[in-house]
Each structure stands twice: as C-alpha cells, then as structure tokens.
Structure 1
C-alpha cells in the first residue's frame, strides 16, 4: 500500500474534516513506483509522527493529490465500502423525490457529501430513464465499474451515461471521453424539470435549450 506522510502542522486540515490533501501538504509518498503512478490508488495517510490520519485516493497528476475516503483506521476501501456509499446516497435522495414526477432531474450523488469525492450523478425518468455520471477525480475513476454496478442495482435504471468536463478531467490527469457505460445513450433532447422549471435539455451535456 502507498503511504502518504503529511508535513508537520499540515494535518490540522484533515483533523478538522477537510477531505482534500493538497500536494503542498505532502512530505513524501512511499510505495512501489507503479503504484505511485496509478491514478486513484488507495494510500494510507499518516502524520509526521507516523500516526494514522486517513485512507485516501492518491493522484500524482493532480494538485489535489489525495482525496479522503475514510478517517477510520478499521474501515477498508473496497467494493463493499463503495456499494454502501452508493446505496446510502441513492436511498437518501430518492426518498425526497415525488414518485409522480418522472420528468424531475434528481441529483443522486453529490461528491464529498456522500463520501465519494469527485462523483456527481443525476437521474431522470425513474427506472425507465437515464443516469448521467461525472467522474471528476482519480479515486472514483479507479472505482468506476463497481460504482456503476451499484447504481444499476440501487436505481433499477438500465441506462448510464458518462459526461465529461474537459478542464476538470485534464486537471486530474484523466482522459476526456463522454460515452455510454450501460444500456442506451440519452436522446439529445428531453423535457426535464429542474429547479421547478420544465425545459428541454440535453442531459448528456447539461445544455438547456431556449424555449
């Protein structure tokens, strides 16, 4: 496993709940070269006195070099953890959506708030509709397949599309490619209710057509 050692005094942000570890806060990264170059690989984060601080996704390509998965030493970063977090986020947000409004655009996962830093997921159309995912960080990119598998199971929605923000992905050292991850691609134009307003939208890009 990779080991990130934080500079003395820089651990305060982590202890105060900041989920991001900037490159400037890192003293050294220990581990095999191929692991250090693997975007999103899990690292143990420790203080300068070698006390456990967190487990985080490490990204050598980003100024945000670490994104915290957990502050608990007894919580492994694995498929089960990813599944739990997707399940909890979807259950929490779908519980607040009127079932009678299939046109509502619903945010199902919101990055750090759901313990999935860099991941944004929106859905429209319920079980017969579409999910649009943005993997904006190395950690969630690394766990993309189990994230999509968990989303398919928890929402019963068969259609998952990946939307990419070129500048964000480049800053993370990630390739830029929007594509279908499961099922069918959303149509170019859908009537979607967002912020109480019904409007035609291309949910693949977020573009709202003029009325």
Structure 2
C-alpha cells in the first residue's frame, strides 16, 4: 500500500481521531496513484496514523476510515456496515425511515445509505466510495435483504472530486412513492425525485419536540415545509397548519401526507418564495401561535458567514412580528458554517430590532441515526433553537 506523509502540524489532530488530511498538510504523497485508492498515513517520523482513501487533487487529500494500518478487504467493509446497522437497531421502534450510514459519522467516508420501509437509497460522495460501490451494494443486499436499492449520487460534493452526478436503480424496483412512519406520523417519500435522498429524517427529534409544545387549535406556520414534516406533526396535535414552500412537487406530497394522516381539513399549502412571502404576510397582519423556520443551507463557505447571518435575520424578523405573545419560533440550519453561535446571534439581533424578548425553550441537533463524531466537528451540521416570545 502506498503512503502519504503529513506535516508535523497535522499529526496531533489525526492522533486525536480527526479524519481528514487536507492538501496543505501533506509533506509527501505517491506519484501516479489514482483517486480513490487506499493509502496509509504516516507522520514525518514514520509513525502509522491510519488508513484512508486518497485523492491527489482534491481539497481533502486523505479521508481516513481507520486509525491503524489495515487492508480494506470485503470483510473489513462488512464489519463497518454491521457496526452502523447495529447502532440504528434501537431506533426501529420509532421509525422505519432511517439513515443507516452517515459517512464519517460511521467511519465510512463519502457513503450515505437511507432505509425507507426496506427500500434503500445509496449515495456515494467520494471517489473512494465510488470505487467500492458494487461491493457495498452486495454487502447491503446480504445484510439487509432490501426490497430495492436506488442510487442518488447527485450531490454537489461529488464535483469536488471531479465526479459526475449518477442516479438509477441498482437492485429490485423502487416505487415512485414509499410509505414510512415515524412516531405514528405517516409520510410518502419520493426516492427518485425528491430532494437529497427523498426525506429529511435528521429532523425527526426536532419535529416531535416542536409538536409537544403545541395545543389543539394553535395556528402554526411551517416555513420551508418541504413535504410537511413539522406541519404534519403539528396538525396531528390538533393545530391548524399553513405549509409554505416554493417546491410545488414537495407541496403536492405534503398535501398527500396530510390526507394520509387524516388532517386535510386543518392543513393548507402555499407555493411561494419565503423571502418574499414572510414580509408580505407580516405586513398583512397574519398571526401565528408557532412557526417552524427550516431553510435550506444558506451558505456553503466560512467566508460567507456575514451573508448567512443577514439572510437568517431577514427570515426571523417577519416571523417574530407574526407571533403572538407567548408564541414559539423554531429556527434550524443545516449549513455547517452556520454554527449555534451564529444561529443564536441572528435571532438575538432580529429580536432586538423587532422589540421581542426571547426565551430559549430548547436546543436541537440531528437525530441519532445521523451520529456526529466528537473529534470530527464537520459531522455535526444540523442545529436548531426553539424560542418562546415573552409577553410584555
């Protein structure tokens, strides 16, 4: 196996179980070795630091999958998958829509696998995982015996390693819609055509907690609703829900989900750009008892944090103006570079500008089937806060 030698300044963090070696941390690398090959990583003194996937031109030169020198054969990948599956087993009591593999969070860098009622979705984000994808599919078939496997390797992360998007059927037949349930709430999932892999199971815990704070008859706004996740939980609690999103196909599925849960009478959908709709609704005097604000990733890079703060404030201000005293606002961000501090700061400044006092009622992170690894901060991407507007 070829080797990559890192600079002295990278040794400590890799010994502390960090999983990436960046290009500017490499002292020596093999000449002519192709992308996606396994390499051993060593310190300048020759000490073994781990084994990982190599890419000669990417920003991340090595993505580690072990902290020793190992031969990544089929038996190794089988053990890795078994460990990931075992971690999710207790969660099956609450949902049959789970993330089975979460990339670096499971020491399987670049691999994402979702399970929607025994229909699997696989996503390879890196060249290393692309190279062993046939083996991964074979192992998943043996370990899970799924009804089907569909590929959704159509994420921008692939472009960082020069990979084209790729989607399609890998095993069995995936239906246009798959029905799942979480905590007794039912959802249709569009695996081939939905956003990302079809459903955002990472918000499962946040949805449940948000709904637990509601009362029958509450007026709830589900902003950036996608297929109605937060809104459907609220409607099942007896709330009257307005779900707003600019994705018409997603809203059609949200309406179908409302029918599935027998809450159509108190669930309305609105197709609109939230950056325009929210200020207009506030100016028109709309009032809500609770609002879920779950925008897509607003920024991608650290140097865009000021922009991200401004965009969040543009969304939060009108929400605060529409909330009654004592009302709830749940704000989420899935952008890694919008950290908890920035998310809190955007709400604090917006609250000051609108004359609102906010009590922090809860702090949420991604659900347990998206495990974040303490020594790898990049694995924690989803964060949220629930605020209560204090009365005068």
Q: What residue in structure 2 maps to residue 55 of structure 1? A: 51
Q: RMSD of the TM alignment (CA)?
A: 2.0
Q: Specify whether residues 194 and 22 from structure 1 end up closer, same or farther in structure 2 by C-alpha distance, changes over 3 A only.
A: farther
Q: What residue in structure 2 maps to residue 203 of structure 1? A: 191
Counterparts of 1:167 and 1:160 in 2: how far apart (Å)? 21
Q: Count how many residue pairs are aligned between Structure 1 and Structure 2.
A: 199
Higher relative contact order (CA 8 A, sep 6+): 1
Whichever of the two has the greater Rg, that structure is: 2
CA shift for structure 1 position 70: 1.0
1:193 to 158, 181, 188: 181
SS in 2 for 1:49: coil
Note if 1:149 corresponds to 2:138: yes
2:64 to 56, 62, 68: 68
Counterparts of 2:57 and 2:63 in 1: how far apart (Å)? 13
CA deviation string 1:101-152 (max 9, x = no partner): 6xx21111111222101111111223xxx10011112222221111111111
Counterparts of 2:126 and 2:23 in 1: how far apart (Å)? 15
Task: Give the gaps of 5 or more residues in structure 1.
Answer: none
Q: After the TM superposition, which residues 121-200 of structure 1 pair with which residues of structure 2 at under 5 Å, given as runs?
A: 121-126=113-118, 130-184=119-173, 186-193=174-181, 197-200=185-188
Q: What residue in structure 2 maps to residue 6 of structure 1? A: 6
Q: After the TM superposition, which residues 105-116 of structure 1 pair with which residues of structure 2 at under 5 Å, given as runs?
A: 105-116=97-108
Task: Give the gaps of 5 or more residues in structure 2.
Answer: 200-226, 228-252, 256-392
Contact 1:87 1:150 in 2 (8 A): no
Contact 1:121 1:134 in 2 (8 A): yes
Contact 1:107 1:123 in 2 (8 A): yes
Q: Specify whether residues 13 and 177 from structure 1 end up closer, same or farther in structure 2 by C-alpha distance, changes over 3 A only.
A: same
CA shift for structure 1 position 93: 1.1
Structure 1 residue runs of 4+, over 6 Å off? none
Question: So what's the TM-score if we normalise by structure 2?
Answer: 0.48
Contact 1:152 1:158 in 2 (8 A): no
Counterparts of 2:169 and 2:127 in 1: how far apart (Å)? 19
